[in-house]
Amino acid sequence: MQPDTSYHLYTELDKEPGGLRRLNLIAEVIESYRQSTGKQSPRVLDVGCGNGQISIPLASLGYETVGIDSDPQSVETARGMNSFENAVFLVQDALALEVDGTFDAVICSEILEHLPEPLRLLESLAPRLDEGGLLLMTVPNGYTLEESLRRFLTRTTLGLVFRGLIRRWLLREKTVQTENVESPHLQYFTLGSIRSLMKQAQLQVADEGNWTTFFMPLYYIFLRLFLRRGSSLFRRLDRWDAVLAERLPMWAGGGWFFAAERASETGAVGAPMLATLEESR
């Protein structure tokens, strides 16, 4: 997709397949929350913030943003890129969070698949949501071609034999999102398993959808060998992918977006901040 919004000036996610759409979905939900609640500066926690590719754009919109990551090098990169006083970056483990207070939005983007016990993280984050606040998550579909190849390389004898060679040429862990390239995928989610995980953490889905379809898995397995990040063809394919992501059913998605809030005793979802979201898409 082509960067076309003010906060896109503060990110390089236009060089990641589906990156700008993922950022846009997060920003739109928080803006909808701001409009519906009247809060001028929603408080946002970005868990696993990497080098600030989501946190810094949100800070540019005036949100009070706290980014945490367990990787010191990524946090140092984020601090170096940040020019906003309303954003702070800390080296912290999310399971031992030392930040005070609650948040209007907690972002957990492309994190759960890296954890041995993702439920522990969701259970620790749910109490950090302010009343009516949302946990905003993205995870890859665990059964795309890319994720199936990852699973083959890590969970089969033949895959382990060829893992070094195949990863070097096909799954090279180069990304603009983090400096930590040694963080393998440990979870391969289905729609059923990720929804079940949220339910176990006493979270109820208020909104969900695809943030990418075909482009991300194809790029990381094959297209990256000859397609330059951010090129006109890259952006055109990314734009087509965004259109498909809005129209295809979720089982066809390459990556999923969820907005969830703490389930009430009655099980009802009270998410008025999402009322304007559909109009903005």
Provide mean pLDDT across the span 238-253: 94
CATH fold for domain 6-141+174-280: Rossmann fold (3.40.50)
Q: Name the residue among 106, 48, 50, 60 with its Cα closest to residue 85.
A: 60
User: Where along the chain do its domains lie?
Assistant: 6-141+174-280
Per-residue pLDDT, averaged over 258-277, amounts to 60
Q: What is the pTM of this model?
A: 0.88
Q: Name the pLDDT band for 194 (thresholds 50, 70, 90).
A: very high
Structure tokens given for 67: 């980014």
What pLDDT shows up at residue 39?
Answer: 87
Contact between 177 and 111 (Cβ < 8 Å): no
* pLDDT at residue 56 is higher than 50: yes
pLDDT at 224: 81
Pick the range with the lowest mean pLDDT from 116-120, 143-147, 204-208, 250-254. 143-147
What pLDDT, on a 0 to 100 scale, did the predictor assign at position 163?
66
What local confidence, expressed as pLDDT, does residue 209 receive? Answer: 95
Q: What gap in Å lies between CA 25 and CA 277, rounded to an integer?
A: 9
pLDDT at 276: 40
Give the pLDDT of residue 27: 96
**CA distance readout (Å), 61 to 49, 65, 180, 238:** 17, 10, 27, 24
Q: Each residue of 217-233: pLDDT tens digit?
A: 888 888 888 899 989 99
Contact 210, 246 (CB under 8 A): yes
Across 220-248, average pLDDT: 91
Q: CA Rg, the chain, in Å? A: 18
Q: Residue 165 — pLDDT band, cuts 50, 70, 90?
A: low
Average pLDDT over residues 184-208: 94
Residue 259's H or E segment, with its range, is strand 255-262
Element (H, E) at 152: helix 145-155
> Is residue 24 classed as helix, strand or coil in its secondary structure?
helix
How many residues are listed for the chain in this entry?
A: 281
Greater confidence (4 vs 124) lies with 124
Task: Give the pLDDT band of residue 145 (cuts 50, 70, 90).
Answer: confident
With b for 16 or more beta-carbon neighbours within 10 A and e for fewer, the 241-277 pattern comes to bbebbeeeeeeebbbbbbbbbbbeeeeebebebbeeb
Mean pLDDT (the chain, rounded): 87
Q: Is 48 buried (19+), middle (13-18) or exposed (0-12) by CB count in 10 A?
A: buried
Once rounded to an integer, what is the mean pLDDT over residues 265-269? 46
| 226 vs 269 pLDDT, higher one | 226
Q: How far are the Cα atoms of 34, 157, 244, 253, 262 from residue 41, in angstroms, in the given order?
A: 8, 51, 33, 32, 21
% of the chain beyond a pLDDT of 90: 63
Residue 265: the pLDDT is 53
Residue 47: band (very low, low, confident or very high) from pLDDT cuts 50, 70, 90: very high
